[in-house]
């Protein structure tokens, strides 16, 4: 940098500092005059109001001189205002609401806490008094270092931060705060006595939420403070709701001992009765998928490769269950059990269950492509679906209790699946009755369950119509 450029930079910095030093006391004159005017009005002593307006008008003229904006002649078409009215234009329209409408918090909440950081004692006092008139709880800090301590120990709701301060500047304070706390966690409004936008732009780039200029247009200051406090409160409420949902989600997952989709967790969080487990029977659709030929494959493959094959299958089928809004009840060895109707019943449980069963078979194309890419063998599955009532029982003791669905539908679906060939989906008669309008079946058979003393009527499912609209590509020949 040349000496000329360096001298020019120093001169600009001196002028910035000079402008700040001149505008700050002028701003205080105007602020205190306005504060006195408001307090006299509250007491019903308005006789001094005209003189106070003259003081503000004179301060405004001095400010114009300092900024080089005083014009000896008015621009054409600009109406002339009396000196008092010029000072109070906009001020009278801002008749301040006091503590009763500070209202940035909910009824019964503590008043919002605002930290004012400014190295000018008069500016701090004036700003604090005016904010307190609006019902805010105000704390002050005499410089950037004390401001950092107050932020770390006091946890304010909002910070009004002067930009130009001796020692640690407002921008340095802002940068340090933003290393650990975001805009939503702690709103910061910059205050500057400079009338250019350089500090404001730099401050916004470094993480400020907003800025105000001196002399303060106080209704604007209050509007911006309230806006940032409302955004801050909303962000905290969202964070708290997210924390509560995550806590409940973790409890639900632990209690059920299985995966639950995100959408279902949200719905369960809105239904306090969703975990009334074991208290009543629930109507469910059970879908069982089992990998065919696992025993022979386990003998032929190294254990690690066999485990990888099963993992690919069960992970892929689990994704299908989540897509259709079901619940993975159990994964044992080479089979997966999914339930529809738990923990929350829906009107379309049956349709989604049979569509999921068909999708299991279609998903095997992707699963086998993944196996081939890893030089692993392709596999096939059979699928069975059954409807009926179950209850949820707690298994285990102490903090290790897991809830398990118990009932005939699971055993029936497993038996139907055992009789299905690779690539097939078979459903029970109760399931068919529930989806008769949309199910496409082509065969039926009887399946004996000697242990239960019953014979199941099973139907081979080719596809599902209606809103689900899914079909098998091909079925094994007889």
d(CA 110, CA 292): 65
Beta bridge partners of 282: 390
pLDDT at res. 452: 84
Phi, psi torsion values for 162, nearest 5 degrees = -70, 140
Asked if 97-256 and 276-471 have one fold, the answer is no
Domain borders along the chain are 1-70+82-95, 97-256, 276-471
Q: What is the pLDDT along the chain (478 residues), one digit of tens a residue?
A: 566 666 666 666 665 565 556 666 666 676 666 767 677 667 776 666 676 666 766 666 666 665 665 444 434 443 443 444 443 444 444 444 444 455 444 444 678 999 999 998 888 888 898 899 889 999 999 999 999 999 998 889 999 999 888 889 999 999 999 999 898 889 999 988 765 567 678 888 889 999 888 777 888 888 999 999 988 888 777 777 666 556 555 545 554 544 555 555 455 445 545 555 545 678 999 999 999 998 899 889 999 999 999 999 999 999 999 999 998 888 888 999 999 998 778 999 999 999 999 999 999 999 999 999 999 999 999 999 999 998 876 555 555 556 677 889 999 999 999 999 999 999 999 999 999 999 999 999 999 998 888 999 999 999 999 999 999 987 656 5
Best CA proximity match to 380, nearest among 367, 394, 389: 367
d(CA 124, CA 141): 8
Q: What separation, in Å, do the N-terminal and C-terminal C-alpha atoms of the chain show?
A: 89
Burial class (CB in 10 A: 0-12, 13-18, 19+), 12: exposed
Cis peptide bond upstream of 281, omega within 30: no
d(CA 60, CA 67): 10
The alpha carbon of 406 is separated from its chain's Cα centroid by a whole number of angstroms, namely 37
d(CA 213, CA 211): 7
Dihedral of CA 86/92/94/97: which sign?
A: positive
pLDDT at res. 134: 87
Class of domain 276-471: alpha beta
Record the tokens describing residue 164, joined without a space.
Answer: 């130009």
Class of domain 97-256: alpha beta
pLDDT at res. 65: 62
pLDDT at res. 374: 92
């Amino acid at each position: 940098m040349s000496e000329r450029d360096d001298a020019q930079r120093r001169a600009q910095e001196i002028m910035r500092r000079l402008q700040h030093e001149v505008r700050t006391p002028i701003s205080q004159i105007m602020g205190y005059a306005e504060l006195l005017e408001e307090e006299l009005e509250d007491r019903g002593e308005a006789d001094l109001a005209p003189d106070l307006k003259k003081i503000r008008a004179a301060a405004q003229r001095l400010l114009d001189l300092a900024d080089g904006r005083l014009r000896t002649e008015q621009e054409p078409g600009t109406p002339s205002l009396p000196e008092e009215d010029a000072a109070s234009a906009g001020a009278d329209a801002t008749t301040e609401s006091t503590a009763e409408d500070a209202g940035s918090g909910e009824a019964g909440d503590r008043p919002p806490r605002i930290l004012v950081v400014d190295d000018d004692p008069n500016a701090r006092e004036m700003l604090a008094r005016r904010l307190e008139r609006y019902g805010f709880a105000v704390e002050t800090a005499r410089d950037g270092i004390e401001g950092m301590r107050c932020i770390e120990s006091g946890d304010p709701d909002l910070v009004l931060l002067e930009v130009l301060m001796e020692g640690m500047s407002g921008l340095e304070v802002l940068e340090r705060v933003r290393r650990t706390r975001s805009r939503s966690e702690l709103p910061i409004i910059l205050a500057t006595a400079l009338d250019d936008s350089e500090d404001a732009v730099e401050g916004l780039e470094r993480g400020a939420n907003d800025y105000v200029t001196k002399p303060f247009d106080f209704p604007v200051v209050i509007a911006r403070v309230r806006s940032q406090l409302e955004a801050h409160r909303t962000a905290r409420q969202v964070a708290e709701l997210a924390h509560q949902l995550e806590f409940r989600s973790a409890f639900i997952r632990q209690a059920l001992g299985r995966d639950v989709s995100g959408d279902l967790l949200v719905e369960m969080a809105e239904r306090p009765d969703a975990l009334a487990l074991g208290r009543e029977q629930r109507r469910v659709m059970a879908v069982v998928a089992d990998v065919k030929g696992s025993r022979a494959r386990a003998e032929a493959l190294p254990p690690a490769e066999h485990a990888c094959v099963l993992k690919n299958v069960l992970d892929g089928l689990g994704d299908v269950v989540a897509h259709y809004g079901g619940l993975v009840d159990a994964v044992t060895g080479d089979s997966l059990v999914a339930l529809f109707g738990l923990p929350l019943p829906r009107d379309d449980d049956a349709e989604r269950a049979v569509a999921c069963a068909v999708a299991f078979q279609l998903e095997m194309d992707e699963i086998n492509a993944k196996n081939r890419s890893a030089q692993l063998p392709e596999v096939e599955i059979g699928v069975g679906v059954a409807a009926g009532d179950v209850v949820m029982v707690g298994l285990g003791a102490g903090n290790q209790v897991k809830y398990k669905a118990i009932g005939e539908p699971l055993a029936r679906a497993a038996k139907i699946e055992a009789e299905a060939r690779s690539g097939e989906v078979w459903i029970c008669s109760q399931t068919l009755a529930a989806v008769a309008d949309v199910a496409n079946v082509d065969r039926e058979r009887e399946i004996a369950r000697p242990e239960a003393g019953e014979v199941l009527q099973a139907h081979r499912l080719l596809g599902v119509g209606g809103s689900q609209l899914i079909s098998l590509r091909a079925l094994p020949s007889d």
